[in-house]
Amino acid sequence: MKRSILAWLAAGAIAVAGSVQAQEAPKDPEVFKIGAILAMSGKADWYGKVMSAGIQQAVEEINAEGGIDGIMLEAVIEDHKSGVAKEGVSAITRLINLHGVEAVLTSFSPPTLAIAPIADEKGILLLNGGGVSTALVGASKYLFHNRSLASDLGRAAAKRANALGLERMAQLAWKTDAGESVIAAVEPYWAELGGEVVATEFMEVGAPNIDTQIAKMRASNPDWVALWLFSPDPGLAMKKIREFGMDVPVIGIEYTDDIQKVGGRHMEGYEYTSDYFTSSDEYPWSQQFAEGYSERTGADPEFYAANYYEAVYVVAEAIRRARAEGGDYWDGARLAEMIRANPVFDSVYGGEMTFQENGVAKKRVALFRIEDGASTFLDYITPD
**Where do contacts with other proteins occur on this chain (CB under 8 A)?**
40-43, 45-46, 48-49, 52-53, 56, 77-79, 81, 83-86, 89-90, 93-94, 96-98, 109-110, 113-114, 116-117, 121, 133, 135, 139, 175-177, 179-181, 200-204, 206-209, 211-213, 215-216, 218-219, 232, 235-236, 243-245, 258, 261-262, 264-265
Round to whole Å and give the CA distance between 231 and 49.
Answer: 13
How near is the Cβ of 68 to other proteins at its closest, in Å?
21
Q: Considering beta carbons, is residue 26 or 263 the nearer one to other proteins?
A: 263
Q: How far apart are CA 33 and CA 363, in angstroms?
A: 27
Sheet order of strands, 125-128 included: 73-79, 32-38, 103-106, 125-128, 143-145
Closer to other proteins by CB, 147 or 363: give it.
147
Task: Report the nearest approach of other proteins to the CB of residue 9 (Å).
Answer: 28
Cis status of the peptide bond prior to 232, with omega within 30 of 0: yes
Residue 127 CB, shortest distance to other proteins, in Å, is: 19
Residues in contact with 118: Cβ distance below 8 Å, sequence separation at least 6, in sequence order:
89, 92, 93, 96, 124
Rounded to a whole number of angstroms, the minimum distance from the CB of residue 20 to other proteins is: 37
**What is the Cα–Cα distance from 6 to 15, expressed in whole angstroms?**
14
| C-beta closer to other proteins: residue 206 or 269 | 206
In the bound state with other proteins, the residue whose beta carbon lies nearer, of 315 and 322, is 315
The Cα–Cα gap between 227 and 213 comes to 12
CB nearer to other proteins: give 49 or 363. 49
Minimum separation from the CB atom of position 76 to other proteins (A): 9
Q: How far is the CB of 281 from other proteins (least distance, A)?
A: 29
By C-alpha distance, which of 200, 62, 38, 59 is closest to 127? 38
Report the nearest approach of other proteins to the CB of residue 372 (Å): 14
The SS3 call for residue 16 is helix
| Shortest distance, position 86 Cβ to other proteins, whole Å | 5
SS3 46: helix
Nearest to other proteins of 168, 216 (CB atom): 216
Q: Which is nearer to other proteins, 192 or 204 (CB)?
A: 204
Residue 173: strand pairing partners: 202, 228
Alpha-carbon dihedral 267, 268, 270, 275, rounded to 10 degrees: 90
Measured from the CB atom, the residue of 40 and 161 that comes closer to other proteins is 40
Q: Which residue, 48, 39, 45, 50, is CA-closest to 298?
A: 50
**Residue 343 phi, psi (nearest 5):** -80, 10
Element containing residue 90 per DSSP (H, E): helix 85-99
Parallel, antiparallel, or unpaired: how do β-strands 224-228 and 250-252 relate? parallel
Residue type, 48: G
